[in-house]
Structure 1
Amino acid sequence: MIERGRISSGQMALILFAGISTTGTLVSPNMTGWYAGRDLWLSVLWASLYGFVAVGLAFRLHRIYPGENIIQYSPRILGNLPGKALGLLFLVSYLVLVGITLREYAEFVKLIFLPQTPMTVIVGSMMLVSAFAVKGGVEVIVRVTQALLPGALLIFLVTLCLTFQSWDVQHLFPILEKGIGPSLKGGMVPGIWFSEFFMITFLLPLLADPSKGLRRGLIAVTSVMLLFLYVNLICLFVFGMEYLVMVYPLFEATRYISYAQFFEHLDAIMLMLWMTGIFVKLCLVHYVVVLGTSQWLNLSDYQPYSLPLAFLAAGLSLWVVPSSQELHRAISTIFPFSFPGTNVLIPLLLWMIAEWRNRGLQKGEMVR
């Protein structure tokens, strides 16, 4: 095993929570609302099923092939050439995810705070820091997450509670005005983020307490579901259906906070908190790409390749979509099918084939 670091199941759940919830809470309410309208909060419940299935499949496959991730056991399930091709598909998918995450971060920062700063500077600086963290290994990423996330999450939740004076619960009604169909369609958008829980396949072999891996993984999914639900309801309570015309409704909601002419202009705090989460997500996905690439190429070490792959991801973030409009269109139309297909459907097929092959082997042994 080229990764010698070890983490606990609680640390695994923490890094998954931070890495998956960050961009979703900022971007998904608007795009979910395109389909679900005022039922966007219900869409989160349907979308969370992707996360529970993804964690369950990763754990099942890990039990069949302990100590290995999908890059390593795919050739054992499908054969060397098809398995290598499937591993390459996953690596490209996660590399694209790094690029998309970088682009989302850069578009937001450039639009709201640094309109005169070149996109390359914003992207390059963040990716450079991520490369050094990934080079330090999984334990460095986890310790950074433990140091930054708890305080940032507490401030984030308290800040959102301060929007209470602008809430109008009547915006929630009527529920299911057009039936369950719109909320199911809307669930495809947050499903992108919940399907990313399959990245747990790269963390399960590193656990010091693997017996608790499934439970902590499911807790992470539930926590992200509750956070998405909380964020979507706040956007709906504060703006009603007007949130549909806002690219970042959660960020706009914080601008409504005003208490005694003292607690105002908290958008800068929200940016700081969001940058903390985006850094953790970039480190997590970047680590998955670097580790998986090294395993796919049968290399003895992954750390020297952190910086080259960071440059590749930075370039991809500038090339993959030409504008923020195209990025949001892709998130709401293409990615709801591509990412769940890669992270849920393919692992499901792998698990079915692995179970079938194992039963065949067991029957063969019984015949002997």
Structure 2
Amino acid sequence: MKVLKARLSQGFMMILLSIGMMNHVFIIPFLLQSSGRDAWISVTLSILPLMAVTAMTYYVAKRLGNRSIHEWLSQEYGLAAAVLLRIIMSVFLYMICFYTLFDTTTWAKITFLTETPVSVTTIVMLLLCLYAAIMGFKPIAISAGILLPFVVLLGFFIMTVNFQTKDYSQLLPILSKGWGPVFSGLANSCAGSFEIIMYLFLQPKLAKAAKAWQLYVLALALTGLTMGPLIGAITIFDPYEASRQMYPAYEEWRVATIGRYVAQTDFFSIYQWLSGAFIRISLALYFIVDVWNIKEKLPRIGAYVTVAGLILLISLTGLNDTNFLKILKRFYFPFSAAFLGALILILFALALISSGKKGKEHHDN
């Protein structure tokens, strides 16, 4: 099946919405719980490993060229290496779909759809994402291009409106409990931004490859998507109250007012949250099937439906919200940071070896 190429800007928009959902929403509660007042220092320190991961991502991307990462592995290191990566990434992408869907529908139930069964919102959301995945990469990219500008505008709006309620003295004193809490939150901070390596899967589907400086700017933007609402939560609520909140980024919207007569603006957050969740789930669902290089239309649709059915099955098992959050905090996010860091290190090493072989062959000739 021929895949229409998307623009580089659209690829970046998908990354910003997808990873931004992770950094802006999922990670912040756990950062506040693990690092408290100094959570912003954890995010600042995470820039260093993120820059290293971004540099390695760019190097591997240069080695790939127009090939998919699976084609490159198969050609350079054999089919077994490519199949192993496909299996690992399928499981990882499945987890992204599951916890994004579960957390989104849980939030919807708690905040604005209190009388609607979670099963209904889960099915509706999953069907929309399934349809987008079936339609293909380019429609998802176009959707991201339409959704992101309004998400960004709303982000600047909430930052500006809430400025009057912020007390930046809440950020001090720094390191009152030493470096332990800071390093405790470092893994959580890296878990989201390290997903920038997903660019390797997007690049073959983009009309133009990214330059190094563009990836670095993207990495800094992803860090900013964590830093902004994190500092906002600390300065508005204080670090202790913010750490007790399940969705601090949403609570910031509940504080915002416009003049004397508009006291409820949190409905804007629904657009932001659902936009990010839609792109994140749709893109992950698309790549779960795409990595297996299924070309025929009917088998491909069947694969999407099967994967979506498995996601729905697990989502409706009645997992307790508290246990779900504990799993994310103690296991998933630290594992995600370690997994993505290890993956890019391995791919970088393989790219270096491959480059060395090519250089030796050229020299021998």
What residue identity is the alignment partner of 1:220? L
Q: What corresponds to 1:248 in structure 2?
A: 247
Q: Deviations over 1:26-46 (max 9, x none)?
A: 232221012211011122223
Q: CA deviation at 1:126?
A: 0.7
TM-score (norm 1): 0.90
Q: What corresponds to 2:350 in structure 1?
A: 353
Q: CA deviation at 1:123?
A: 1.2
Distance 1:21 1:202 in 2: 17
Describe how 1:1-368 pairs up with structure 2 within 5 A. 2-210=1-209, 212-241=210-239, 242-293=241-292, 295=293, 299-300=295-296, 303-304=300-301, 305-319=303-317, 322-364=319-361, 366-367=363-364
The 8 Å contact of residues 20 and 222 in structure 2, kept in 1 or not, is answered as yes
Q: CA deviation at 1:139?
A: 1.5
Distance 1:213 1:231 in 2: 29
Q: CA deviation at 1:107?
A: 0.9
Distance 2:357 2:244 in 1: 56
| Unmatched runs of 5 consecutive residues or more in structure 2 | none
The 8 Å contact of residues 242 and 248 in structure 2, kept in 1 or not, is answered as yes
Distance 1:367 1:27 in 2: 52
Relative to 1, partners in 2 of residues 1:257 and 1:49: Cα closer, same or farther, differing over 3 Å? same
TM-score (norm 2): 0.91
Alignment length (residue pairs) = 362
Distance 1:87 1:37 in 2: 38
The 8 Å contact of residues 35 and 184 in structure 2, kept in 1 or not, is answered as yes
Cα RMSD after superposing both structures:
2.3
Identity %: 20
Q: CA deviation at 1:357?
A: 4.0
Distance 1:130 1:183 in 2: 36
The 8 Å contact of residues 58 and 347 in structure 1, kept in 2 or not, is answered as yes
SS of equivalent to 1:187:
helix
The 8 Å contact of residues 17 and 275 in structure 2, kept in 1 or not, is answered as no
SS of equivalent to 1:261:
coil
Distance 1:231 1:309 in 2: 33
Q: CA deviation at 1:223?
A: 1.1
Relative to 1, partners in 2 of residues 1:337 and 1:273: Cα closer, same or farther, differing over 3 Å? closer
What residue identity is the alignment partner of 1:33? L
The 8 Å contact of residues 70 and 87 in structure 1, kept in 2 or not, is answered as no
Relative to 1, partners in 2 of residues 1:239 and 1:322: Cα closer, same or farther, differing over 3 Å? same
Q: CA deviation at 1:194?
A: 0.9
Distance 1:143 1:187 in 2: 34
Distance 1:257 1:337 in 2: 33
The 8 Å contact of residues 22 and 274 in structure 1, kept in 2 or not, is answered as yes
The 8 Å contact of residues 257 and 263 in structure 2, kept in 1 or not, is answered as yes
Relative to 1, partners in 2 of residues 1:156 and 1:361: Cα closer, same or farther, differing over 3 Å? closer
Relative to 1, partners in 2 of residues 1:142 and 1:243: Cα closer, same or farther, differing over 3 Å? same
The 8 Å contact of residues 101 and 122 in structure 2, kept in 1 or not, is answered as yes
Which is further off, 32-41 or 340-349? 340-349
Distance 1:64 1:237 in 2: 44
The 8 Å contact of residues 132 and 307 in structure 1, kept in 2 or not, is answered as no
Which is further off, 82-91 or 352-361? 352-361
| Unmatched runs of 5 consecutive residues or more in structure 1 | none
Distance 1:146 1:259 in 2: 28
Distance 1:349 1:74 in 2: 12
